[in-house]
């Protein structure tokens, strides 16, 4: 039987347009080194697995500080690094990065390398095999694409109340499942570090929650509905499509972890925080706003990297008779989106859409064999 579709299958050019993820990883280097020190003696061969590794730029920056700490622990240890993503990932690019001049294999005492093409919502490694597991900007993607009546928006936090509650429960179940599987794979005392986009309570919003805000989603929504108006996309498709992501609140994360614990997972929350930034500090490309055309081009490339696979599957292909027509629709979509972002950037301080980042970071410790 064929594997079910995954929400992120077929992402393109992500490595070249992942500035948000890279900044988040860099901001957590001290945390990574701290927990590398706490986990270096748990396994005969200390092992880290990065889940949602992508083509490798962010993943290398995640595992490198951990391996540095482990290699320096006396006596010099063998170490292992594992990289997990969907089969549609650019594995050739990842290999090139790992084994290239600036990779981790060319260094003294190179790590054992394992590449795993599999859905990270499944159990992947043997029991107690890992010392440290990481996931940066990965777990906000749900395990499956979503179809729900959502006229006027492609974005989860603007859904009608019942659809919102249903999707929230799916997101909690996904994260609980992710935690449960990672705890099975970790040695006792091992840690799972997750850092991703989050949300906070806000009574002034439709569903009482304000998620981390990027300009990509409102511009994607506006562009899709403009193409509906022009007869280029089918309205029923757009009205029933929502991007398959969910940004957990701190309470959501606690609830999901406690759900995993109630199912027999032995773990505890060791660290949990929410951090905020707004204005130019929230936008890694904000320094380009003085050159609106360049800013718009970079933002649109980021949108293509993150959203193209799901837009192609749910909007472009079903609205077309041939793959060529679907590709043409995609080009029209991104050209229009770039023009809209450019026009808004030209408004300076009066822009309609501003970014506000909310980052959720949680560290879960495995407390005993489970």
Task: Convert the pLDDT of each residue in 186-195 to its tens digit.
Answer: 999 999 999 9
- Write the DSSP assignment of 161-184 as a string of letters: HHHHHHHHHHHHHHHHHHHHHHHH
- Please give the residue range of the domain that contains residue 359: 15-366
Number of domains in the chain: 1
What's the pLDDT band for 2 if we cut at 50, 70, 90?
Answer: very low
pLDDT tens-digit series, residues 207-217: 999 999 888 99
In a domain, 184, yes or no: yes
Average pLDDT over residues 156-163: 91
7 falls within a domain: no
In the chain, the DSSP E strands lie at: 47-51, 80-85, 112-117, 130-136, 146-147, 186-197, 199-201, 209-211, 241-242, 267-278, 356-366
Q: Is residue 3 part of a domain?
A: no
Residue 5 lies inside a defined structural domain of this protein = no
Q: Would you say residue 206 lies in a domain?
A: yes
**Interval 88-94 mean pLDDT:** 90
Which positions ≥6 away from 260 have C-beta within 8 Å? 176, 177, 179, 180, 183, 267
> How far is residue 200's CA from residue 152's CA, in Å, rounded to a whole number?
23
CATH code of the domain covering residue 171: 3.40.50.150
Check if the beta carbon of residue 260 is closer than 8 Å to that of residue 180: yes
Summarize pLDDT for 320-352 with one digit per residue, the tens. Answer: 999 999 999 999 999 999 999 999 999 988 888
In a domain, 6, yes or no: no
CA distance 13 to 37: 34
Residue 9 domain flag: no
Q: What is the Cα 49 distance to its own chain's centre?
A: 15
């Amino acid at each position: 039987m064929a594997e079910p579709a995954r929400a992120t299958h077929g992402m393109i050019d992500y490595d070249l347009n992942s500035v948000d993820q890279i900044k988040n990883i860099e901001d957590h280097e001290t945390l990574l080194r701290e927990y590398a020190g706490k986990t270096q003696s748990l396994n005969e061969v200390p092992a880290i697995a990065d889940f949602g590794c992508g083509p490798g730029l962010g993943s290398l920056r995640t595992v490198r500080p951990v391996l540095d700490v482990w290699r320096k622990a006396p006596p010099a240890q063998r170490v292992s690094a594992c990289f997990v993503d969907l089969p549609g990932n650019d594995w050739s690019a990842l290999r090139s990065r790992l084994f290239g001049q600036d990779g981790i294999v060319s260094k003294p005492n190179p790590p054992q390398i394992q590449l795993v093409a599999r859905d990270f919502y499944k159990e992947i490694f043997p029991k107690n095999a890992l010392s440290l597991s990481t996931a940066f900007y990965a777990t906000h993607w749900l395990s499956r694409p979503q179809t729900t009546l959502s006229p006027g928006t492609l974005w989860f936090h603007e859904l009608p109340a019942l659809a919102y509650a249903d999707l929230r429960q799916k997101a909690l179940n996904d994260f609980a499942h992710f935690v449960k599987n990672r705890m099975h794979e970790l040695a006792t005392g091992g840690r799972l570090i997750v850092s991703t986009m989050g949300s906070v309570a806000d009574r002034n919003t439709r569903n009482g929650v304000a998620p981390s805000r990027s300009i990509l989603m409102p511009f994607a929504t506006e562009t899709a509905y403009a193409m509906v108006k022009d007869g280029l996309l089918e309205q029923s498709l757009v009205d029933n499509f929502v991007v398959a992501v969910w940004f957990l609140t701190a309470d959501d994360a606690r609830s999901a972890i406690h759900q995993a614990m109630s199912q027999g997972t032995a773990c505890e929350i060791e660290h949990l925080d929410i951090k905020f930034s707004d204005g130019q500090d929230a936008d890694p490309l904000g320094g380009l706003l003085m050159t609106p055309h360049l800013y718009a081009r970079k933002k649109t490339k980021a949108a293509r990297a993150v959203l193209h696979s799901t837009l192609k599957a749910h909007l472009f292909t079903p609205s077309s008779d041939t793959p060529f027509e679907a590709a043409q629709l995609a080009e029209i979509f991104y050209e229009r989106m770039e023009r809209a972002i450019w026009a808004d950037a030209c408004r300076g301080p009066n822009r309609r859409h501003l970014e506000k980042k909310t980052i959720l970071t949680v560290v879960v410790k495995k407390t005993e064999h489970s």
